[in-house]
């Protein structure tokens, strides 16, 4: 799905849920109505939808947490790299689930914890070659 289609489908869904709120909750979007709408959109408590989760778990599980290039992520999740960069990546960066480095995208410790995976230890910038 292209970025324009994704945005259009999300906007269409929001309009439908707004209309649903008008009918079910006398036009007031309550916490229960909002929770139902988010559940129908498969958005979790962190604001991540199915594709957000696929992107992060792909980086963690297939690429050891990164760094990995945008084109490689796009191919792995079956999405256009432009859509990833313009639609999904900004939110993941803002929420602290993803970092953009010169070498590629890296899943943060927050991303690991979100999926119940223990994050790798911080390297402190240098690898240890020898113990003792």
Q: Which H, E and C letters describe 55-124, residue by residue?
A: HHHHHHHHCCCCCECHHHHHHHHCCCHHHHHHHHHHHHHHCCCEEEECCEEEECHHHHHHCCCCCCCCCC
- In this predicted model, which residue has the larger pLDDT, 10 or 40? 40
What are 11-56's pLDDT values in tens digits? Answer: 655 566 666 666 666 667 777 777 777 777 777 777 888 888 999 9
pTM of this prediction exceeds 0.75: no
């Amino acid at each position: 799905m292209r970025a324009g289609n994704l945005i259009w489908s999300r906007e269409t869904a929001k309009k439908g849920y707004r209309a649903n709120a008008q009918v079910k909750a006398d036009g007031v979007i309550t916490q229960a109505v909002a929770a139902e709408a988010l559940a129908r959109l498969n958005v979790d408590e962190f604001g991540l939808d199915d594709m957000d989760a696929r992107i992060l778990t792909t980086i963690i599980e297939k690429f050891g947490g990164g760094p990995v290039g945008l084109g490689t992520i796009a191919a792995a999740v079956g999405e256009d790299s432009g859509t990833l960069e313009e639609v999904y990546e900004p939110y993941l960066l803002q929420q602290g689930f993803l970092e953009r480095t010169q070498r590629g995208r890296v899943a943060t410790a927050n991303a690991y914890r979100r999926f119940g995976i223990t994050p790798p230890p911080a390297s402190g910038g240098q690898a240890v070659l020898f113990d003792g």
